[in-house]
A and B are shown apart, each in its own frame.
Chain A
Amino acid sequence: MRERNLIKLVIIVALGLFAAFIVSPIPKPEFLKNLIFWQDPRGRDLQIKQGLDLQGGLQVLLAPAIQSSELVTGSLESARQIIESRVNGLGVNEATVQIQGSDRILVELPGITDPQLAIDLIQKTGQLEFVNGTRNPPQAGQLISTTFGLYQGLLYPATSQIGRPITATEIPTNVIVYETAFTGEILESNARPDASTGQIVVLFQVKPQAQASFREFTSRHVQQPLCIVLDSIVQSCPIIQDVLTEGGSIRGNYTIDEARQVATLLNYGSLPVPLKIESIRDVGATLGADSVRRSFIAGLIGLLALIIFMILYYRVIGAISVIGLIFFGLSSMAIFILLPVTLTLPGIVGFLSSVASAVDANVLVIERFKEEVRNGRTIRGAVETAYQRAWLSIRDSNLSTLIVCAILFLFGNTFGASAVKGFAITLSLGILISLFSAMVVTRTIMREVLYQQSETFEQRKVLLGI
């Protein structure tokens, strides 16, 4: 029993230190950042991600330029994907592209204030490149650096300022730069899937003025991969089968849908559904930088008052609860960073609510503990009973809040109410973490401290605030 508790304590301390390290401003080693493989490679900076309302940026709402009855199922989703790859191609960090409601696309570009960028996003075609994949053939879906991209100032995995060409000296030695053979400019925009030969292929034609160089390149690279790259993301790497001049066909064991997608990609000028900009909002950081700073300090003052109160009122157990609450705060922040959760204003409110829940869980246990001691239980007995009895209240009250969160999330997601969604995410995560910190962390420390010194406390109950 005692040993098990000690092992738990060691694990808790280790977890707490790890969370503190993640949250702290100490520079993190590169390999650690790359361990969070589920995050976008360009966003792996182990920092709290701020939503548009906190850091400011551009919010663009797009709607189809056709009647919603004419909308083909799935076309909006492919338009969304295309826009997403364009935005990523522009090197905007943490941009989000979401479908809102039934027929709108919401694009959020944090840190960007130039509306022209948004207009380009819709009106310009995606940057299509044909890249020589002979050396280190890349995988589909991979983000690569290309010679053309460097010229535009795009280098992966690290992107510099938008639009500034990157010089050779700036390229880290470990980055492979692929040679851009052609850009999408050489194509006629009439690529189409074709199944007439029994095999599904994508036919394309090269503009007359580019045919000579296309012939020249293909003749030198027969049986080598030529990768189709859209906004720096590899789409596929078909092998050049023959010398080509006027055009050709791409064979890739396509289904008809895949072939259609590839054709759309090659034509590209046309999104699968024409879109119009419904509104461009330049979201200035709503609160203003000084307001955020002051609120942050005010929050700290409030939390400090809370900590002092807990310690003065509940003495030793109050102090133990405070340790548990600090663990809760650190691990919540760490989880927000690792998942990642983008913090918006409603999100912060949700998190603060979960802090209140965490405090409440501790108060429920402590009050129950005091009651049990007053009713004549020993310290040990009172700790165990208090946790057993308080757990029912804590479970039911938090479960009800979790149910509310689940519904809010569902609705927020369906109706594009990102404010509601952000609130629900941080609140529910916070509640789960607070349950762990109250029922496991605080309990373990409580056992360790109160059991070891139970005789001292039996004699001097004033130390427990009784």
Chain B
Amino acid sequence: MLFTIVQNRRYYFAFSLVVIVAGLVAMLYNVITLPTNTPWRLGVDFREGSRFVLKFNQPVTEEALRSAFTAFGLNNPAVSRLGQPQDNLWQVRTTFLAGEQNEALFSRVTETVGPLDRAQSSVDSVSPQVAREVASAAVLAVLAAVGAILFFIWYSFRKMPHPIRYSLCAIIALIHDILVTGGAMALFSAILGWEADVLFLTAMLTVVGFSIQDTIVVFDRIRENLPRYRGESFDQVVSRSLVQTVHRSIVTSLTNVFVTVALLLFGGGSIRQFVAILLVGLIAGTYSSIFIAVPTLAAWEERSLLGKQQKAPHAMPAK
């Protein structure tokens, strides 16, 4: 099957296209429906939110408090204790809650968590953060990073014919991964109400790093093999390089998946969304290096985007 990836690229391209279009639709849907007009629902880090200080008359548990807020429709409440344990003073930071709903929330908390000392409890809204600036700075940073990577790969592969193609194919794979991950987030955002926060930003940055690493490893093998197998056609050498690196790709992805899945299953609730997004990004990164970056490179060489279907799969010597 590996020998035919490059030949059958039309199917993989089509698959990615479907995934990306689905993601784009979700993003578009969010832009239209969300009050912020953003592709994702923005978390407390990126817009105004509410902060509750709750004084209870008796000890309560963090979990009860968290679930009371979640049941009220406030996702991801950040619950923390203020002062000494015997103070029964808690702080909950949530997404923005309209002022008229405050009392309803307080009575809900009293019912489900414990009697509240209303006089000493308060709610105030946190002023808008610099994080909006942070977000735009991050986008700029990613763009600059893409530019630098373009140049770096071009320099590393300068002795190959058409080094700029390697750069551009790596960038195409990178954009693919960003779109898939961003699309998945948009989908989760629309359906489950997930919010983009600083952790989402870091997940995206991680995906960028992994995507490029994965692609470079395969490209590096092509660089090594091209002069060695001069008799073979470009896509034969490319297929050979894929076969030779596929073990490493699988093992490395597996080890990453071990840690992320463990975090997903056993980790604290508040980082699960982050881990899920990271997992999507990691899978996209491995997929794109094999099924997007390399076939695109071959397509360019053959000057045929979708591959020549009539071409029979090459007979390759057994390993």
Q: Collect the chain A residues with CB atoms within 8 Å of residue B319's CB.
A: 374
Q: Are B130 and A100 in contact (CB under 8 A)?
A: yes
Q: Are A284 and B91 in contact (CB under 8 A)?
A: yes
Q: Are A400 and B267 in contact (CB under 8 A)?
A: no
Find the residue from A345, A359, A404, A407 having the highest chain B CB count within 10 A: A404
**A305–B266 CA distance with the chains assembled, in angstroms:** 13
Residue of A nearest to B148 (CB): A403
Q: Are A396 and B268 in contact (CB under 8 A)?
A: no
Q: Are B141 and A288 in contact (CB under 8 A)?
A: no
Q: Are B138 and A400 in contact (CB under 8 A)?
A: no
CB distance from B72 to the nearest CB of A (A): 18
Which of A301, A410, A423 lies in contact with B262, CB distance below 8 A?
A301
Range, interface on chain B: 35 or more
Q: Collect the chain A residues with CB atoms within 8 Å of residue B126's CB.
A: 279, 281
| Chain A at the B interface: SS class | helix
Residue of A nearest to B282 (CB): A356
Range, interface on chain A: 35 or more
Q: Collect the chain A residues with CB atoms within 8 Å of residue B251's CB.
A: 313, 363, 367
**A363–B144 CA distance with the chains assembled, in angstroms:** 30
Query: Using an 8 Å CB-CB cutoff, how does the interface string of B220-252 with A read, 1 for contact, 0 for none?
Result: 110110000000000000000000110110011
| Chain B at the A interface: SS class | helix
**A346–B92 CA distance with the chains assembled, in angstroms:** 21
**A367–B199 CA distance with the chains assembled, in angstroms:** 33
Which of B152, B198, B268 lies in contact with A287, CB distance below 8 A?
B268
| Interface: A299 (CB within 8 A) | yes
Q: Are B216 and A396 in contact (CB under 8 A)?
A: yes
Q: Are A415 and B137 in contact (CB under 8 A)?
A: yes
**A301–B260 CA distance with the chains assembled, in angstroms:** 10
Query: Using an 8 Å CB-CB cutoff, how does the interface string of A349-372 with B read, 1 for contact, 0 for none?
Result: 110110111011001100100010
Q: Collect the chain A residues with CB atoms within 8 Å of residue B73's CB.
A: none
Residue of A nearest to B129 (CB): A279
CB distance from A360 to the nearest CB of B (A): 5
Residues of B250-301 contacting chain A, CB below 8 A = 251-252, 254-256, 258-263, 265-271, 274
Q: Are A411 and B258 in contact (CB under 8 A)?
A: no
Which of A278, A297, A400 lies in contact with B153, CB distance below 8 A?
A400
CB distance from B245 to the nearest CB of A (A): 8
Q: Are B262 and A356 in contact (CB under 8 A)?
A: no
Q: Are A294 and B268 in contact (CB under 8 A)?
A: yes
**A356–B130 CA distance with the chains assembled, in angstroms:** 31
Q: Collect the chain A residues with CB atoms within 8 Å of residue B145's CB.
A: 403-404, 407-408
| Interface: B51 (CB within 8 A) | yes
Q: Collect the chain B residues with CB atoms within 8 Å of residue A305's CB.
A: 258-259, 262
| Interface: B208 (CB within 8 A) | yes
Q: Are B220 and A393 in contact (CB under 8 A)?
A: yes
Q: Are A288 and B213 in contact (CB under 8 A)?
A: no
Query: Using an 8 Å CB-CB cutoff, how does the interface string of B47-87 with A read, 1 for contact, 0 for none?
Result: 00001000000000011001000000000001111110000
| Interface: A332 (CB within 8 A) | no
Q: Collect the chain B residues with CB atoms within 8 Å of residue A288's CB.
A: 62, 66, 78-80, 268, 270
Which of B80, B156, B201, B255 lies in contact with A285, CB distance below 8 A?
B80
| Interface: A416 (CB within 8 A) | yes
Q: Collect the chain B residues with CB atoms within 8 Å of residue A7's CB.
A: none
CB distance from A418 to the nearest CB of B (A): 8
**A305–B263 CA distance with the chains assembled, in angstroms:** 12
Q: Are B51 and A416 in contact (CB under 8 A)?
A: no
Q: Are B267 and A419 in contact (CB under 8 A)?
A: no
Residue of A nearest to B127 (CB): A279
Q: Are B203 and A400 in contact (CB under 8 A)?
A: no
Query: Using an 8 Å CB-CB cutoff, how does the interface string of A324-361 with B read, 1 for contact, 0 for none?
Result: 00000000000000000000011001101101110110
| Interface: B217 (CB within 8 A) | yes
Residues of A268-283 contacting chain B, CB below 8 A = 278-279, 281-282
| Interface: A154 (CB within 8 A) | no
Q: Are B271 and A291 in contact (CB under 8 A)?
A: yes
Residue of B nearest to A424 (CB): B205
**A219–B195 CA distance with the chains assembled, in angstroms:** 69
Q: Are B256 and A356 in contact (CB under 8 A)?
A: yes
Q: Are A306 and B156 in contact (CB under 8 A)?
A: no
**A378–B269 CA distance with the chains assembled, in angstroms:** 50
Q: Are A401 and B134 in contact (CB under 8 A)?
A: no
**A398–B152 CA distance with the chains assembled, in angstroms:** 12
Q: Collect the chain A residues with CB atoms within 8 Å of residue B248's CB.
A: 360, 363-364, 367
**A305–B126 CA distance with the chains assembled, in angstroms:** 42
Known interface pairs A284-B78, A401-B209, A412-B141; A420-B270 also in contact (CB < 8 Å): no
Known interface pairs A306-B258, A420-B141; A404-B263 also in contact (CB < 8 Å): no
Q: Are B130 and A282 in contact (CB under 8 A)?
A: no
Q: Collect the chain B residues with CB atoms within 8 Å of residue A346's CB.
A: 198-199, 201-202
Residue of A nearest to B203 (CB): A349
Q: Collect the chain A residues with CB atoms within 8 Å of residue B210's CB.
A: 353, 356
| Interface: B41 (CB within 8 A) | no
| Interface: A462 (CB within 8 A) | no
Q: Collect the chain A residues with CB atoms within 8 Å of residue B258's CB.
A: 302, 305-306, 309
Q: Are B78 and A400 in contact (CB under 8 A)?
A: no
Which of B156, B208, B261, B271 lies in contact with A404, CB distance below 8 A?
B208
**A292–B270 CA distance with the chains assembled, in angstroms:** 9
Q: Are B220 and A306 in contact (CB under 8 A)?
A: no
Q: Are B199 and A345 in contact (CB under 8 A)?
A: yes
Instruction: Point out residues on A near B: beta carbons under 8 Å.
Output: 56, 61, 100-101, 104, 106, 113, 278-279, 281-282, 284-295, 297-299, 301-303, 305-306, 309-310, 313, 345-346, 349-350, 352-353, 355-357, 359-360, 363-364, 367, 371, 374, 389, 392-393, 396-401, 403-405, 407-408, 410-412, 414-417, 419-420, 423, 427
Q: Would you list 30 pairs from A and B whose C-beta atoms are within 8 A, ordered by A residue?
A: A279-B127, A282-B82, A284-B78, A284-B91, A288-B270, A289-B62, A290-B63, A294-B268, A298-B266, A302-B263, A313-B251, A349-B199, A350-B206, A356-B252, A356-B256, A359-B252, A367-B245, A393-B221, A400-B149, A401-B213, A403-B149, A404-B208, A404-B209, A407-B145, A410-B141, A411-B138, A415-B140, A419-B134, A420-B137, A423-B205
Which 4 pairs between the two chains have the least Cβ-Cβ distance? A284-B80, A291-B268, A302-B262, A415-B137
List 10 extra interface pairs beyond A389-B224, A397-B216, A408-B145, CB under 8 A.
Answer: A291-B269, A294-B268, A295-B263, A298-B262, A302-B258, A353-B209, A397-B220, A398-B213, A404-B209, A420-B141
